[in-house]
Structure 1
Amino acid sequence: MEILLALLIEWLAVNTEITIESPPTVVITEEAELYQRYDRPVHALYDDKSNTIYIADTVNLKTHQGASVLLHELVHHHQQESGAMEKFACIRASEELAYNIQRQYLEGNKVELLPELDPFNVYMRSMCGM
């Protein structure tokens, strides 16, 4: 896990303006537990209070698609650590950047995009007031 985390942090630094000085903790957990925490099905989430990324045990981190889920949450970690989260109208607005970087990573690796990266879906998940 540490190697993957380091590779994704390096990818962010090279391909975006995002730098991560202090990586979060990453915990693999049961998908059902994530559902209870977030009250809807999710593959992963970033908890800013504990500085932890929780990844569902159903996510295959050995694939680019699975790694992109972790990358998405690293963007949220950066947003929180850098103070960028305060600039969003609502927390959901932070999703657009995370999804766009996830898309960039998958396209750069010539990997099939995940269904949640559909532009309409990203728009809906990034809207405030939902």
Structure 2
Amino acid sequence: MDALIDLLLDWIGDNSAYRTSNLPHPDVIELSPQQLTREFYSGVAHLMPDSGIDERLNALYAAGDGPHGTVYILAPKAVADAGHFEDPHDNPLWREILLHELVHHVQHMSGAVEGYACVAMGEAEAYGLGGIYLRQRHVTDPLPNRNFWAAIYARC
């Protein structure tokens, strides 16, 4: 996992204004859809879907969990197209999800979030870089309306 995180952090550094060399890695915890939903709704369990799964969730970054933040992410076998790969960690769709959360990690570690009106403002950049990542790999984006969602999720 460290080599993959290094690879994705280098990509972020090459495709943004952030300096990512020697950045400490966040912890990465792979979860089932049910576990990720529970993590997301911890503290507000009354808002959790009755099914126990929020299908909109792919991952989340918790800056305050662990020494350098924690990425809670769907296990790669739970992501579309996982069966096409001997190792589901090689799936560019899963890697883009991890990259998205690593963008948030970089935003926090660089102090960029301190200039945001709210933490949600970092979503536009994370969604945008994720789209570039997929285009560079000639992978069909599962979010064809990515700019719309970036704008919606970036609202304070």
Q: Give 2:82's aligned residue.
A: none
CA-based RMSD of the aligned residues comes to 1.7
1:1-130 equivalent positions in 2, closer than 5 A: 1-20=1-20, 21-39=23-41, 40=54, 41-50=56-65, 51-57=69-75, 58-59=78-79, 60-115=88-143, 118-128=146-156
What do the CA deviations read for 1:20-56 (whole angstroms, capped 9, x no partner)?
A: 3111111111221221222354101111112111111
For 2:38, give the aligned amino acid.
Q
TM-score by length of 1: 0.88
1:15 offset after TM fit, Å? Answer: 2.1
For 2:58, give the aligned amino acid.
H
Q: Is the 8 A contact 1:44 1:69 kept in 2?
A: yes
Larger radius of gyration: 2
User: Where does structure 1 differ by over 3 angstroms across 4 or more consecutive aligned residues?
Assistant: none
Compare 48-57 and 27-36 and name the one that shifted more. 27-36
SS in 2 for 1:61: helix
Q: Is the 8 A contact 1:116 1:122 kept in 2?
A: no
In structure 2, what is the Cα distance between the partners aligned to 1:69 and 1:105?
10
What do the CA deviations read for 1:62-107 (whole angstroms, capped 9, x no partner)?
A: 2111101000000100111111111111121110010011111111
